[in-house]
Structure 1
């Protein structure tokens, strides 16, 4: 929590040797309506990389990876998202939301490191 402005809760955390699985609750605002989307997240991390998969009950899947690399006097972050959906309008919505979260995450990480 804290790296995505959409996530309001995390539940059912299962820690394995190589990965962590949990259910995250994303709060989506659709005009006047609010929808709590419960997504299944699988997270794997190593010394320089975090990668995972998100599966939404609405038929959206997202694979992601961010890699940290030393660069000069700081750290370079490579943040890659691949979004899949069963319908083009849903894909467009999910991709926009994923990009908003990606940009917000960059701001949070910059603030934490600064």
Structure 2
């Protein structure tokens, strides 16, 4: 009986931890706020062309940091600076929650690293 209670408490703690991971961003709101992002990064987060980053399944905190760096000018990209500039902190959390919640198509770096095709890179 004690092991069942211990397991139940452990499972509850895991579920609370998983909820807290995205508690600071609302993926549904992020999908609505990210419409301008879809032009380059795609609604599915898989990018419309190889020169745009794939955002699907990316770590939320990494994308938050990147958007803050574009907004401040620490990352030098005129397009992304303009896109990030009007975003509030909540907008950033929501948009990144949306893209991080999407399933990633990246199971390998084959064809995603410059020269990988020519060099015969394998999975």
Give the TM-score normalised by the residue count of structure 1: 0.28
Instruction: Name the one with the larger helix percent.
Output: 2
Greater relative CO (CA pairs within 8 A, separation 6+): 2
Give the TM-score normalised by the residue count of structure 2: 0.26
Larger radius of gyration: 2
Instruction: Name the one with the larger strand percent.
Output: 1
